[in-house]
Amino acid sequence: MTMTVEAAPGQKLYRAVVDALRREIETGRFAEAQLLPAERVLCELLDVSRTTLRKAIADLVDEGVLLHRHGAGTFIHRARPRVDQPSSRLTSFTDDMRLRGLEASSRELERGVFLPTPEEAMMLGAGPNERVFRLGRLRLADGTPMAIEHAAVPLRFLPESERVGASLYEALSSRGFRPTRGLQRLRATLVSDTEAELLGVAQNSPALYIQRIAYLADGSCVEFTKSWYRADAYDFVSELTLSPPVRKAQR
């Protein structure tokens, strides 16, 4: 099957090929393939010479639509989900992704019941002998790694911790311990080599390091989580309002 690529008046043929390829990529012709078909196949499909095709591919690489990996071939640079996260709502990763029509999934890195580290004990306000359930996960949206999270929850809130499934907040909710208030601290950081590999980003890529402490309505601390979010996939958005004018105390 071939496609007719015609240059508009004054347009170079290879630019028409750039447009045609971009259209094909956007409309999903190569949807299942990460790798661009071989030059020979594309030349036949578009009915153009190798020189024209190569020039078009070089332009698409410059534009970031295609990615050239030495020795491996030319890949389609799939747009990864980029997520706007209002920083004022206490939501779970699963809910956040569902709301955006993305499918949340996780790869577990750590799960178990431990004595708290001094940091966990301090953040959770737990005694040194109060055991915590620890859950480390790589969180993915539609299969794309988004964040690494290490959560610690005092065991008394999750006595059957082995039954915690895909959502930590759902497990807490079903036991009547859904956090209602949280405190979050964000800071810019660079990923370590291990984190880079898990997140599928280049070494030393920027990330958002987030610490969340979440509380129950009665003020007890239910969660301490440390996360590394990919800086290229997440925007934390804050809503700002003018605070009402402070009234002078009446005499």
List of residues contacting ligand 16G (CB under 6 A): 92-94, 149, 151, 167-170, 210, 212, 223, 225, 227
Q: Give 47's contacts (C-beta < 8 A, 6+ positions apart).
A: 2, 3, 4, 5
Determine the Cα–Cα distance for residues 234 and 237; give it in Å rounded to an integer.
9
Smallest separation, CB 225 to ligand 16G (Å) = 4
- Side chain identity, residue 174: S
Distance (Å, whole) CA 1 – CA 66: 23
- Closest CB to ligand 16G among 21 and 149? 149
Residue 16, both tokens = 């028409």
Nearest to 132 by CA among 111, 109, 106: 111
**Shortest approach of ligand 16G to residue 130 CB, angstroms?**
19
Which of residues 161 and 227 has its CB atom nearest to ligand 16G in the complex? 227
Question: Shortest gap between Cβ of 101 and ligand 16G (angstroms)?
Answer: 16
Q: Rank residues 142 and 170 by Cβ distance to ligand 16G and give the closer one.
A: 170
- Find out whether 170 and 92 touch, Cβ atoms under 8 Å: yes
Please report, as a single letter, which amino acid is at residue 238: S
Min dist CB 213 to ligand 16G, Å, is 9
CB-wise, 21 or 138, nearer to ligand 16G? 138
Minimum Å gap between C-beta 194 and ligand 16G is 20
The nearer residue to ligand 16G, 35 or 183, going by C-beta atoms, is 183
Please, what is the Cα angle at 161 between 159 and 163, to 5 degrees?
A: 115
